[in-house]
A and B are shown apart, each in its own frame.
Chain A
Amino acid sequence: MSPATPWFLSQLATICVGLLFLLAPLGIVLARRSFGSQVIYGACTLVCSVLAAVALIALLGPGSRLGAVQLAVGLPLGRTLLGFDSLSAAFAVIINVACAIVSGYAIGYGKHAREPERVVPFYPAFIGAMNLILLAQDAFSFLVGWEFMSLASWALVVSEHRSEANRRAALIYIIMATGGALTLLLAFGLLAGPGGGYGFAEIRQGAASGIGSIVLFLALIGAGSKAGLVPLHAWLPLAHPAAPSHVSALMSGVMTKVAVYGFVRIVFDLSGPPLWWWSIPVLLVAGVTALLGVLYALMEHDLKRLLAYHTVENIGIIFIGLGLALAFEASGLGTAAALALTAAVFHVFNHALFKSLLFLGSGAVLSATGQRDMEQLGGLIRRMPVTAFAFLAGCIAISALPPFNGFVSEWLTFQAILLSPQLPHWIPRLLVPAIGATLACSAALAAACFVKAFGITFLGRPRSKAAMEACETDRWSRSAMLMLAALCLLAGILPGFVIDSLTPVTQMLVGAHLAPQSAQPWFRIVPTDTARSAYNGLLVFIMVMAAAAATAFVVRRFASHALRRSPAWDCGFPDPSPATQYTAGSFAQPIRRVFGGVVFRAREEVSMPKPGDTAAAKLHVELHDTVWETLYLPVIRLVNVAADRLNQMQFLTIRKYLTLVFIALVLLLVIVGTWR
């Protein structure tokens, strides 16, 4: 590769982002035309594929940092630098792969949109903004991209603005997004210091000690609110499902990853060496997020909201990895930190794949039946076999089960957790096993959650006419979903390649990296030591498949071939009504009873009619969203009270207004006068 290549790559990436932004106004023009949305989505697929390829070359190519492009159209404060380094290149690969496939899906799916002009123009801008954040090599363009991303996604959330719930979701989202951006602004402000060097390189050099801790919390709030860390997750399960499904896939699968990138960039890269206790708040928040996220998801019967809540859980898992990496890095355990960070970024990659896949699947179900409520679905595996197959793959992957990819990243996280006795400080040393238990719990609950999601939606008998008459989605959507499913499997059975590609990232952030996995025989992965732990996804996959094939062969050879179709047995009392099946609610009931009492203050009441009375018995379930009620409602109440008070200010005489202005002026002068 010639020395000019890196610069050329950055140039190319910048042009691609520019193209994406140009597609937005084009979208306005084309949206109403037939084929207009297909053109835009197709263009997005192309551009994202190019961006992914560029980022991959940037990631694997020689030299950790690429020359940044300085934009001619500089923003008013300082220079605008755009370019990839290892970290942003890795995230750019992940994001653009997902974006490209989702856009491919949208080529088919976008035809169903009722008002394409509300979606099509913002979609490329949204992708462009996310890429701008990754390309940014200075705080200013980072923040500009961040705001663009928030606004574009907000516009997409309100695209179906006729529903009251969606408008409320959008309002909460924009408030949270504004708050998050504000904290990030403060974080960058602190990092830049009084000198005001906003370029990342300048911040890195002048990383002042002391402010790091404040920056950590600001980043945790700012990036965490975008990613969906509990308790800042409140907007996420409202806003993600409100958008059209391919946008939901982007918001859940991709945008949260950009937020993770923001956190990693600020905490690992910019704010200097970490202190030993930094990992504690991160791990605590992450553990709570993982557990609460999956419990919320289990209680949810709306397919898309379930998936959105599940994003919260996965963000928790990612942040567990990041917290571990912080703990290890602060203690000078380079390899362990590299392992934890690899696990986290690997999970970012995995989640981008399978959460996009699942949202696309839910979109297919939605367009086929018009239903998001799982209680109205069922039996779709017979009507939509391809969607069901891809969705099943996604469910197995997200439940962290081998041989799919979700398992690999959780396995790596567990391996990192098992290195915790090396930590010198007692509190993280004891905290980490507890976090491990939380992670194990949330993984097991996730399996329950996705048995519910798949079993109730796709299996059983149809619970409504719409589900009975559903038909398979178009070819574009199917191939996009199958492609994601295949990627999930590939990343699961050949994880060594992913781990090796993350080497430059860990080298850049924690100054160490795992031993190259390509040196291992038979695509096996060995994070630290062969005697310690190893996993060979390919071999496990082949063994399971071979064992299944052998069994099937033997059974076919020796067993009776007779097969009779008959009505279901059901212990002798089959009931033709589909209402007698287990529903999502009944599936989750035991779990609600065991975990819900504490977490949701769940209360169940059965009101039985008196003997002899023919009235129906009623089951009344009461669930409380504890986080919302204890944290958000008081704030809302406070704001309302304050607004009521301030309302009177609107009806003052001019003299009183002048008095107010005068008092404000005098006060300001007094403050200025007494400042020193």
Chain B
Amino acid sequence: MSLLDADIAHLLAGSMVLVSFMLLYQDRMFALLNTFAIHACVLALSVGWQAYLQGAPHLFITALIALLFKGIIIPIALHRIVVRLGIHRTLDSVVSIGPTMLVGMALVALSIVVMLPVTQGAGAFVREDLAFALAVVLLGFLMMVTRRNAVSQVIGFMSLENGLVLAATGARGMPLVVEISVGFSVLIAFFVVGIFLFRIRERFDTVDLSALDMSRGESS
């Protein structure tokens, strides 16, 4: 790995953390979905770059899955669902953005403190990658905890999962990574549908969409 190659890998993995923070910062529904698409795209780029560096073609598949599913299909689908269901376009949070960001900073620091001493023997890139990945996972968790809205919880979960993929790519020689990734994506699709149905039923006591039509006026 040349210096520039390593730098690009570092930049891409670091951008994941940055985009996670951008996710935390959003207070509009569509902006959140777009940012999540960026998150997935950066993940795809990062994984793709790793595939190129490690010469591991199966990682290209992972990157492709990330790009297709999480970068394109899921955001578009969620976008449509939000429009169709007339869900509130603003997101309300349990904790306001400033303190959330501060906690996020602390979590990043924590993941560095935890990861770097543990991976003392490993190569520089693996260490960075694992620290970044843990940070992304924790930030995803934070998002799920601090947001009330079902959609942002789903997004939080999926960004968490992106962190797991990032961790898996960084640690070399994990052929299972493809399967894991596919499996998680399916799981997420499940979650998307499941939580949505649950929330809709919770709010309207029915999953019948006609009930939504009646109240669309006030909730959109």
Q: Do chains A and B touch in the complex (CB under 8 A)?
A: yes
Asked if residues A598 and B117 are in contact (CB atoms below 8 Å), the reply is no
Q: How far is the CB of A604 from chain B (nearest CB, A)?
A: 16
A569 within 8 A of B: no
Asked if residues B112 and A426 are in contact (CB atoms below 8 Å), the reply is yes
Which residues 97-111 of B sit at the A interface, judged by CB distance below 8 A? 98-99, 105, 109
Asked if residues B96 and A430 are in contact (CB atoms below 8 Å), the reply is no
Quick one: which of A426, A431, A434, A597 contacts B117, CB cutoff 8 A? Answer: A426
**Complex contacts, B116 vs chain A, CB 8 Å:** 426
Asked if residues A430 and B112 are in contact (CB atoms below 8 Å), the reply is yes
Quick one: which of B96, B98, B99, B113 contacts A427, CB cutoff 8 A? Answer: B113
Size of the chain A interface, CB-CB below 8 angstroms: 7
Majority SS at the chain A contact face: helix
The 8 A CB mask of A72-94 against B (1 = contact, 0 = none) is 00000000000000000000000
The 8 A CB mask of A575-610 against B (1 = contact, 0 = none) is 000000000000000000000011000000000000
Asked if residues A598 and B113 are in contact (CB atoms below 8 Å), the reply is no
Asked if residues B98 and A598 are in contact (CB atoms below 8 Å), the reply is yes
**Complex contacts, A427 vs chain B, CB 8 Å:** 113
Asked if residues B99 and A598 are in contact (CB atoms below 8 Å), the reply is yes
How many residues of B sit at the interface, in one of the four size bands? under 10
Quick one: which of A426, A434, A597, A598 contacts B105, CB cutoff 8 A? Answer: A434
Residue of B nearest to A427 (CB): B113
Complex: A434 Cα to B108 Cα, angstroms: 12
Complex: A388 Cα to B215 Cα, angstroms: 64
Which residues 543-564 of A sit at the B interface, judged by CB distance below 8 A? none
**Complex contacts, A598 vs chain B, CB 8 Å:** 96, 98-99
Asked if residues A430 and B99 are in contact (CB atoms below 8 Å), the reply is no
Which residues 118-167 of B sit at the A interface, judged by CB distance below 8 A? none
Residue of A nearest to B112 (CB): A430
Asked if residues B109 and A430 are in contact (CB atoms below 8 Å), the reply is yes
**Complex contacts, B112 vs chain A, CB 8 Å:** 426, 430
Q: How far is the CB of B14 from chain A (nearest CB, A)?
A: 16
Residue of A nearest to B116 (CB): A426
Which residues 420-449 of A sit at the B interface, judged by CB distance below 8 A? 426-427, 430-431, 434
Residue of B nearest to A598 (CB): B99
**Complex contacts, B113 vs chain A, CB 8 Å:** 426-427, 430
Complex: A598 Cα to B98 Cα, angstroms: 9
The 8 A CB mask of B171-185 against A (1 = contact, 0 = none) is 000000000000000
Q: How far is the CB of B55 from chain A (nearest CB, A)?
A: 33
**Complex contacts, A597 vs chain B, CB 8 Å:** 96
Complex: A427 Cα to B116 Cα, angstroms: 11
Complex: A638 Cα to B133 Cα, angstroms: 48
Complex: A330 Cα to B105 Cα, angstroms: 26
Which residues 234-272 of A sit at the B interface, judged by CB distance below 8 A? none
Residue of A nearest to B114 (CB): A426
Q: How far is the CB of A416 from chain B (nearest CB, A)?
A: 20
The 8 A CB mask of A397-438 against B (1 = contact, 0 = none) is 000000000000000000000000000001100110010000
**Complex contacts, A430 vs chain B, CB 8 Å:** 109, 112-113
Residue of A nearest to B95 (CB): A598
**Complex contacts, B99 vs chain A, CB 8 Å:** 598
Asked if residues B98 and A434 are in contact (CB atoms below 8 Å), the reply is no
Complex: A385 Cα to B34 Cα, angstroms: 59
Asked if residues B96 and A434 are in contact (CB atoms below 8 Å), the reply is no
Q: How far is the CB of A600 from chain B (nearest CB, A)?
A: 14
Q: How far is the CB of A138 from chain B (nearest CB, A)?
A: 42
**Complex contacts, A431 vs chain B, CB 8 Å:** 109
**Complex contacts, B105 vs chain A, CB 8 Å:** 434
Q: How far is the CB of A583 from chain B (nearest CB, A)?
A: 27
Complex: A655 Cα to B216 Cα, angstroms: 80
Residue of A nearest to B98 (CB): A598
**Complex contacts, B109 vs chain A, CB 8 Å:** 430-431, 434
**Complex contacts, B98 vs chain A, CB 8 Å:** 598
Residue of A nearest to B106 (CB): A434
Residue of A nearest to B105 (CB): A434
Residue of B nearest to A594 (CB): B98
Q: How far is the CB of B49 from chain A (nearest CB, A)?
A: 27
Complex: A427 Cα to B112 Cα, angstroms: 9
Q: How far is the CB of A254 from chain B (nearest CB, A)?
A: 36
Q: Which of A426, A427, A434 has the most CB of B within 10 A?
A: A426
Residue of B nearest to A430 (CB): B109
Q: How far is the CB of A349 from chain B (nearest CB, A)?
A: 33
**Complex contacts, A426 vs chain B, CB 8 Å:** 112-113, 116-117
Q: How far is the CB of B45 from chain A (nearest CB, A)?
A: 28
Complex: A431 Cα to B109 Cα, angstroms: 8
Complex: A212 Cα to B117 Cα, angstroms: 27
Q: Which of B96, B99, B109, B112 has the most CB of A within 10 A?
A: B109
7 further contact pairs, Cβ within 8 A, besides A430-B113, A434-B105: A427-B113, A430-B112, A434-B109, A597-B96, A598-B96, A598-B98, A598-B99
List 15 interface pairs A-B (beta carbons < 8 Å), by A numbering.
A426-B112, A426-B113, A426-B116, A426-B117, A427-B113, A430-B109, A430-B112, A430-B113, A431-B109, A434-B105, A434-B109, A597-B96, A598-B96, A598-B98, A598-B99
CB-CB nearest 8 A-B residue pairs: A430-B109, A426-B113, A427-B113, A598-B99, A426-B117, A430-B113, A430-B112, A426-B116
A residues lining the B interface (CB < 8 Å) = 426-427, 430-431, 434, 597-598
